[in-house]
Amino acid sequence: MKILMVASFGGHFIQLKRLYEQLKSEAGSSPATFEFAVTEKNINVDGKKALYFANVHRESGIRKMLSTLLKVFRLLQETRPDVVISTGALPGLIVCFAAKLKGKKVIWLDSMANYQKMSFSGNIAKFFCDVCLTQWEHLAANDNRVSYWGKVL
């Protein structure tokens, strides 16, 4: 099983790496391989170079979003993951969306920063991702599209 792990550079990526450490130790003997994609160049995880993809945010405009979506389709074509996992933010949402259109299994993990409500991206992700997770139990209590399975901390 090939798992593509995706996040924006910064706090989202730090949470993604922590999730990876947890997953790696749980999936010790199973034939899972991991690949990373991040919005910053020349980043290594576990001695392996992460793929780079463009950063976008809500003010980026539709042209940049669409061109990013096309590039993300190419990235998925090249990496051929079975599963995509993202800790956000909007660039991660775009990868999740493209992956879902290609029939991949997709997991969204909302940032631990979002303690009072899900992020803007998380509130979109919950409508199409296979699993949409928050890191705060109370946020999963009133939304049947969102689950709590634990934290990166």
Residues that bind another protein (CB under 8 A): 1, 3, 8-15, 18-19, 21-27, 29-32, 40, 42-43, 57-58, 83, 85, 105, 107, 109, 111-117, 119-120, 131, 133, 135-136, 149-153
Least gap, CB of 128 to another protein (angstroms): 17
Q: Determine the Cα–Cα distance for residues 146 and 141; give it in Å rounded to an integer.
A: 8
Residue with smaller CB distance to another protein, 45 or 73 = 45
The first and second tokens of residue 53, run together, are: 């993809």
According to DSSP, the β-strands at 105-109 and 2-7 are: unpaired
Residue with smaller CB distance to another protein, 11 or 71 = 11
Residue with smaller CB distance to another protein, 30 or 144 = 30
Least gap, CB of 27 to another protein (angstroms): 4
Least gap, CB of 13 to another protein (angstroms): 8
Phi and psi torsions of 92, nearest 5°: -65, -35
Least gap, CB of 111 to another protein (angstroms): 6
Q: Residue holding tokens 């405009």?
A: 61
Element (H, E) at 74: helix 62-79
3 state DSSP class of 133:
strand
Least gap, CB of 74 to another protein (angstroms): 25
Report the residue count for the chain.
Answer: 153
Query: Of 42, 43, 34, 41, which is closest to residue 14 (Cα–Cα)?
Result: 43
DSSP 50: P
